[in-house]
Structure 1
């Protein structure tokens, strides 16, 4: 089982800058998934809103 610190360290390594950087990277990945047909394009706005709300929130 992962501790909160371990999860936060991994998150910091993947997204070391700030919320803007996280959302930029998240959006790029989401765009790739939409182009590949894995996620309907109509869901993009809602998914991005959820990502913004949940930035920095750890389980």
Structure 2
């Protein structure tokens, strides 16, 4: 499970029923992620700008 997912679950698990919490904690969070899985909303911040030389926003393909 990604660190963000663990942090979310720690803060919000109380909103779900006991059975679902046990399922998430004992099954889903222990699985290896699929090799093609990509986090939603994630982007590289290492040396890549999201603006063109003119300062215009640039769409970046994933």
TM over 0.5: no
Q: TM-score, normalised by structure 2?
A: 0.36
Compare relative contact order (CA 8 Å, sep 6+) and give the higher one, 1 or 2: 1
Which is richer in helix?
1
Q: TM-score, normalised by structure 1?
A: 0.37
Bigger Rg, which one: 2
